Amino acid sequence: MALQDSHGRTINYLRLSVTDRCNLRCGYCMPASGVGKLSHGDILSYEELYRIAETAVSLGIDKIRITGGEPLVRKDIVRFLHKLADIAGLRQLVLTTNGVLLEDMAVDLRSAGVQRLNISLDSLDPATFARISRSDDLPRVLGGIEAAKQCGFPIKLNMVVMRGVNDHEILDFVSMATSSEIAVRFIEYMPAIREHNWQSLVVTGAEILERLGRHVTLIPLEQAEMAGPSRNFRIPGAAGSLGVITPVSHHFCSECNRIRVTSSGVARGCLFAETEIDLKPSLQTGSNALLARALGAIVDIKPVRHRMNPEECHHQAFSMSSIGG
Ligand code: SAM
Ligand code: SF4
């Protein structure tokens, strides 16, 4: 069975946020005071999150990404992932993390059935890392990446590129992709929280590629099945690969296959959508048919595209950690 939205797109990918809390405070994602303000009662229980996942899979979702906030800060997350991995019909269970807690958890995540990890890392320089994330956890993240590699995880590193902040490090990340089997993805900075002068931070994917092309040969790679919206390249002789993700300058809305559910049970068809559906009432009835109807409705009203570009955005400011970036 496949889920189709009203613009003919097949929807098979759910990004499921398990918490809005985080152990970092990245400036592009949340204010310094943090946003993990949902009370315990507002956050869905694991039983409720499982029901959403199971119902979504019964409708045609076959890839689930666990995200947050920082998913690894939620207590008992490994046990929950074990259960999710057993849902019949789920082909891919993957997780996005800032890597801070990964060193101790990588082995357990692997045995729970998580197939791939996306690790967010915006700088290899302790001072720049601290400026972006407001923390001095870079050594822990690097230890986490190493531990994940050791236990056999295919690794993607996501770097949000910001002009004048970390864009001078692009070539350092290329070196990582050259020397080890890591897929580095450069992501355009998105004005989620609408900082003053956000336009000055955006380095477009085209500029990133142009800057890379001055130093390395980029050979386009075929888009793999179930791969994300990244345009990927290999470098001759390199162990890993590079890619750019361009949500701002070159949106990929026409191929978008995802829906999102926040940790408080709000479903969204798009990060920048103005309409959302609260799944809590359907969860509270205990009826999976009602839950399926609500998930079907969010697919039906999924917007055809967002209206953001490198010069303008129209959305209400939001914290990526509360929606599940
Ligand atoms: N805490 C986890 C992490 O950082 O990987 C998962 C949640 S985080 C919200 C998911 C992804 O969203 C991260 O890769 C982060 O870099 C990205 N992100 C957050 N705010 C962003 C922004 N304004 N522009 C681009 N990417 C952003
Ligand atoms: Fe936390 Fe991820 Fe947001 Fe950084 S991007 S503050 S690690 S949720």
> Tens of pLDDT along 98-155?
999 999 999 999 999 999 999 999 999 999 999 999 999 999 999 999 999 999 999 9
Buried b (16+ CB within 10 A) or exposed e, 66-75: bbbbbbbbbe
Q: Per the domain annotation, does 182 fall within a domain?
A: yes
Q: What is the pLDDT of residue 265?
A: 96
Q: Per the domain annotation, does 3 fall within a domain?
A: no
Ligand 1, closest atom to CA 67? 6
Mutational test site, ligand 1, from 35, 120, 271, max ligand atoms within 8 Å of CB = 120
Distance CA 44, CA 318 (A): 20
Q: Per the domain annotation, does 57 fall within a domain?
A: yes
Query: Which of 296, 183, 171, 267 is closest to 232 using CA atoms?
Result: 183
Give the structural domain span for 167.
Answer: 13-323
Q: What is the pLDDT of residue 116?
A: 96
The arithmetic mean of pLDDT across residues 280-302, rounded, is 92
CB 11 within 8 A of CB 61: yes
Token digits of residue 316: 């209400």
Ligand 2, closest atom to CA 96? 2
35 bridge partner residues: none
Q: Per the domain annotation, does 193 fall within a domain?
A: yes
What residue type is 267 in one-letter code?
Answer: A
Ligand 1 site, CB within 6 A: 22, 28-29, 67-68, 70, 96-98, 120, 158, 160, 187, 189-190, 192, 320-321, 325
Q: β-strand 231-234 against 241-245: which pairing, if any?
A: antiparallel
Flag the least confident range among 83-97, 153-167, 192-206.
Answer: 192-206
CATH of the domain at 207: 3.20.20.70
C-alpha of 136 from chain center: 22
Ligand 2, closest atom to CA 100? 7
Distance 76 CA to ligand 2 centre (A): 20
Q: How many separate domains does the chain show? A: 1
What is the per-residue pLDDT across 191-249, written as a single tens digit (0 to 9) for each? 877 777 888 999 999 999 999 999 999 999 987 655 667 899 999 999 999 999 988 88
CB atoms within 10 A of CB 249: 17
